[in-house]
Amino acid sequence: MAKRTKQHCGSEAGSALVELALMMPIMMFLLVAVLEFARVAYAAIEVSNAAKAAVQYGASSIGASADATGMLNAATSDAEDLQTTAAGGTSLISFPTAPVVTGICSDGSACTGTGNTCLNTDCSSSQIESILTVTTQATISSPFKLPGISSAYTLNGRAQQKVANQ
């Protein structure tokens, strides 16, 4: 009886090795997919934070809200980790649309000027407030070419802030 148990255990050890050999490619694929997902999630956070940095710079004063170059520089320096993957030293962070300044009345009433701007007559019982909106974008490429996983991702960030009246 003991002899039969030893033979049975030996065949199980061989089948475990075969199962491991069959599962290893699937496990490696899942590991690479998880790492890629984490890398893209980190880049998305960087792009979003770059939008916040740009809007903070632009909202510091009325003059800064018109300085698109300064806002782009603030966004680029905030997303330094993404810059290392850019070819030729160019920035991965860009503005897909120009930063937009819109107006609102501090009492919540609507502005009637073109392009969401306020006329001097719009806010008779309150003050005109300016809101800066910045949208950032970056496209990152995957170093892995795996089936079912995209090789490039376009990530967007958006931030809004009231402009200081200085």
Q: Inform me whether the pLDDT recorded for 3 exceeds 80.
A: no
Strand partners, 138: 155
Domain range list for the chain: 2-162
pLDDT of residue 70: 93
Residue 91, pLDDT score: 56
| pLDDT number for residue 79 | 87
The answer to whether residue 40 scores a pLDDT higher than 90 is: no
**pTM for this model (two decimals):** 0.76
pLDDT tens digits, 135-160: 999 988 877 777 777 778 899 999 99
pLDDT attached to residue 56: 95
Average pLDDT rounded to a whole number, residues 92-121 = 80
pLDDT in the model for residue 159: 95
Q: Which of 92, 99, 102, 101 is closest to 70 using CA atoms?
A: 99
Q: Which pLDDT score, from 0 to 100, does residue 161 have?
A: 93
| Predicted confidence (pLDDT) at residue 87 exceeds the cutoff of 90 | no
Residues 13-41, mean pLDDT to the nearest whole number: 88
Nearest to 157 by CA among 67, 56, 38, 70: 56
pLDDT at 37: 87
16 — phi, psi (to 5°)? -65, -40
% of the chain with per-residue pLDDT over 90: 30
At 159, list the tokens.
Answer: 């931030």
Q: Is the pLDDT at 89 greater than 50, yes or no? A: no
What pLDDT sits at residue 86? 46
Cα 18 off chain centre by = 42
